């Protein structure tokens, strides 16, 4: 594969590698994405906008130049706005590979970092010289102004020109909480969304604070992805509950969407509206509860994004997909080409990874979230096979049954 080195989100020549549920592989144009989806599919994308999370400045005590890359929040997206987890490098910029960047000076709690008009203080070093918790000495409004004036998008050496903020915002970008772009969403534009509607494909969003993809240290990279806050809106919870009831597929645009949905389902028993923090790693051992297919970038083996794909397809299928990507010179990284992978039909029976009907029954009674319970009033019963009486609920529209 060849690194994509120009910040063009939707080049006419962008390609799509399609891997179906049986492991069959097909090459296509990325513009054909809607053709591989089915009427009734629910497509969910991450609408997080990307922060200018790279800040150059000085470690005041030593006088040494540094680059701070904001990488996450200790807790929620909205609470304690001045506190961040950050990866810090010594002198240099994106022209040097992250792996070759020098370490920052040795930090002590309380050390001041002068970053343009902003000052941040080290709270503690987090088990690695590059990874710290810091707090900005600024009110929220002042912090946003400082980031806008002095920060730049996080960037790596494969990109040959400086990135502007608009380069890393998707067409549906909303709240600025991502540290690197949820780049699978670069495939979407308003024409694509219009084609979804024409084909009877439903679309919804969530907000997930996408983290960084590399720290420049092999041991630290193995900890990726860090914990990432997310927020699921009530309409998205309702749309997911309806799709599950009606036996329709759920397609994630990007690894961040998979991580948010599967964390919510694993934590609450079903996807629940509200804010939480995704702290699970998804890989070959994960039984997917919610997501049936993923549109993703082309990732290199060994990365956390690539490991997540093992929840959809086994090692042999992904190996054949890698061979196809390499032989056809697909482009990698955030402005590269895409893969659409359906989850393996051999691994997942119709019931595999789904919530037991009895648990769904309790959720519909209101024990998880009122938004899910309300779908009974809005959707007709699904034409699915009934295994036992507990698989069905009585609603104003008739009997609602859950797929097995």
- CA–CA separation, 53 and 154 (whole Å): 6
Summarize pLDDT for 337-395 with one digit per residue, the tens: 999 999 998 876 544 444 433 344 334 444 344 454 444 444 333 333 333 334 444 33
pLDDT value at residue 233: 97
Least confident of 105-114, 299-308, 336-345: 299-308
H-type alpha helices, 71-132: none
- CA–CA separation, 372 and 258 (whole Å): 19
pLDDT value at residue 78: 64
Is 156 among the domain residues? Answer: no
Residues 101, 216, single domain; the answer is no
Find the domain containing 369 and state its range.
357-401
Percent of residues, the chain, with pLDDT higher than 90? 72
Contact yes or no for 334/343 (Cβ under 8 A): no
Percent of residues, the chain, with pLDDT higher than 70? 85
- CA–CA separation, 102 and 375 (whole Å): 54
Residue 38 has pLDDT above 50, yes or no: yes
Residue 148 has pLDDT above 50, yes or no: yes
- CA–CA separation, 31 and 9 (whole Å): 12
Alpha carbon of 305 to those of 212, 258, 296, 313, 389: distances in Å? 11, 11, 9, 13, 40
Is 168 among the domain residues? Answer: yes
* pLDDT tier at 87, thresholds 50, 70, 90: very high
Last residue of a domain, one of 317, 342, 367: 342
Higher per-residue confidence, 260 vs 3: 260
Question: Torsions phi, psi of 161, nearest 5?
Answer: -130, 155
pLDDT value at residue 350: 43
Is 233 among the domain residues? Answer: yes
Least confident of 210-219, 253-262, 359-368: 359-368
- Total number of domains constituting the chain: 3
Residues 179, 76, single domain; the answer is no
In the predicted model, what is the mean pLDDT of the chain?
Answer: 86
- CA–CA separation, 1 and 323 (whole Å): 9
Alpha carbon of 331 to those of 12, 365, 382: distances in Å? 13, 48, 41
**Two tokens, residue 187:** 């495939």
The arithmetic mean of pLDDT across residues 103-108, rounded, is 96
pLDDT value at residue 301: 84
pLDDT value at residue 362: 37
Is 351 among the domain residues? Answer: no
Is 30 among the domain residues? Answer: yes
Instruction: Report CA 275 to chain centroid distance, whole Å.
Output: 15
Residues 78, 119, single domain; the answer is yes
Residue 81: CATH number of its domain: 2.40.10
- List, in order, residues 6 or more apart from 301 with CB less than 8 Å away: 322
The arithmetic mean of pLDDT across residues 312-321, rounded, is 96
The arithmetic mean of pLDDT across residues 188-216, rounded, is 95
Which residue, chain included where needed, has tokens 């102004």? Answer: 145
Residue 404 has pLDDT above 60, yes or no: no
- List, in order, residues 6 or more apart from 182 with CB less than 8 Å away: 45, 46, 48, 50, 170, 208, 210, 253, 254, 256, 257
**Two tokens, residue 114:** 């002068």
The arithmetic mean of pLDDT across residues 223-238, rounded, is 94
Residues 173, 28, single domain; the answer is yes
The arithmetic mean of pLDDT across residues 130-154, rounded, is 96
Higher per-residue confidence, 154 vs 2: 154
The arithmetic mean of pLDDT across residues 20-41, rounded, is 96
Residue 133 has pLDDT above 70, yes or no: yes
Which residue, chain included where needed, has tokens 């699970």? Answer: 280
- CA–CA separation, 46 and 154 (whole Å): 18
Closest alpha carbon to 278 in 222, 214, 231, 212? 231
The arithmetic mean of pLDDT across residues 301-328, rounded, is 93
Last residue of a domain, one of 123, 150, 177: 150
Which residue, chain included where needed, has tokens 């009907």? Answer: 357
pLDDT value at residue 6: 82
Last residue of a domain, one of 130, 150, 170: 150
The arithmetic mean of pLDDT across residues 298-311, rounded, is 88
Residues 193, 58, single domain; the answer is no
Residue 286: CATH number of its domain: 3.40.1780.10
Closest alpha carbon to 343 in 113, 48, 124, 21? 21
The arithmetic mean of pLDDT across residues 103-127, rounded, is 96
Is 155 among the domain residues? Answer: no
The arithmetic mean of pLDDT across residues 5-28, rounded, is 92
Residues 175, 303, single domain; the answer is yes
Is 118 among the domain residues? Answer: yes
- CA–CA separation, 242 and 41 (whole Å): 11
Residues 142, 34, single domain; the answer is no
Residues 32, 60, single domain; the answer is no
Residues 296, 324, single domain; the answer is yes
The arithmetic mean of pLDDT across residues 139-143, rounded, is 94
Report helix, strand or coil for 207.
strand
pLDDT value at residue 197: 96
pLDDT value at residue 1: 65
Residues 285, 208, single domain; the answer is yes
Contact yes or no for 338/359 (Cβ under 8 A): no
pLDDT value at residue 194: 96
Alpha carbon of 89 to those of 129, 212, 213: distances in Å? 9, 14, 15
Is 338 among the domain residues? Answer: yes
Residues 300, 196, single domain; the answer is yes
Residues 328, 394, single domain; the answer is no
């Amino acid at each position: 594969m060849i690194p994509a080195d120009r910040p063009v989100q939707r080049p006419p020549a962008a390609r799509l590698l399609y891997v179906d549920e049986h492991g069959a592989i097909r090459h296509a144009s990325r513009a054909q994405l809607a053709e591989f989806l089915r009427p009734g599919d629910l497509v969910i994308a991450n609408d997080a906008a990307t922060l200018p999370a790279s800040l150059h400045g000085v470690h005041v005590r030593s006088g040494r130049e540094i680059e701070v890359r904001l990488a996450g929040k200790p807790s929620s997206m909205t609470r304690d706005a001045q506190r961040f987890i950050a990866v810090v490098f010594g002198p240099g910029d994106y022209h040097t590979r992250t792996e070759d960047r020098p370490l920052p000076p040795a930090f002590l709690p309380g050390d001041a970092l002068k970053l343009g008009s902003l000052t941040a203080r080290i709270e503690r070093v987090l088990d690695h010289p590059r990874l710290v918790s810091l707090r900005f000495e600024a009110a929220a409004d002042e912090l946003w102004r400082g980031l806008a004036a002095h920060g730049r998008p996080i960037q790596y050496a494969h990109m040959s020109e400086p990135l502007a903020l608009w380069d890393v915002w998707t067409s549906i970008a909303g709240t600025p909480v991502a540290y690197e772009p949820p780049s699978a969403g670069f495939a979407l534009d308003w024409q694509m969304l219009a084609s979804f509607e024409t084909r009877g494909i439903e679309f919804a969003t969530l907000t997930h604070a996408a983290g960084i993809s590399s720290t420049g240290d092999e041991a630290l990279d193995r900890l990726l992805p860090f914990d990432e806050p997310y927020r699921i809106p009530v309409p998205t919870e309702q749309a997911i509950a309806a799709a599950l009831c009606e036996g329709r597929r759920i397609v994630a645009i990007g690894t961040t969407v998979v991580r948010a949905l599967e964390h919510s389902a694993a934590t609450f028993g079903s996807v629940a509206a509200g804010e939480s923090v995704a702290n699970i790693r998804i890989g070959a051992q994960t039984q997917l509860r919610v997501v049936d297919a993923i549109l993703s970038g082309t990732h290199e083996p060994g990365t956390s994004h690539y490991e997540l794909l093992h929840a959809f397809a086994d090692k042999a299928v992904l190996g054949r997909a890698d061979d196809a990507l390499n032989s056809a010179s697909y482009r990698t990284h955030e402005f590269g080409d895409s893969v659409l992978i359906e989850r393996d039909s051999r691994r997942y029976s119709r019931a595999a990874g789904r919530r037991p009907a009895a648990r769904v029954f309790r959720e519909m009674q209101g024990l998880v979230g009122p938004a899910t319970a309300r779908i009974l009033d809005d959707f007709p019963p699904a034409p699915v096979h009934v295994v036992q009486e507990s698989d069905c609920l009585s609603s104003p529209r008739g009997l609602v049954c859950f797929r097995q």
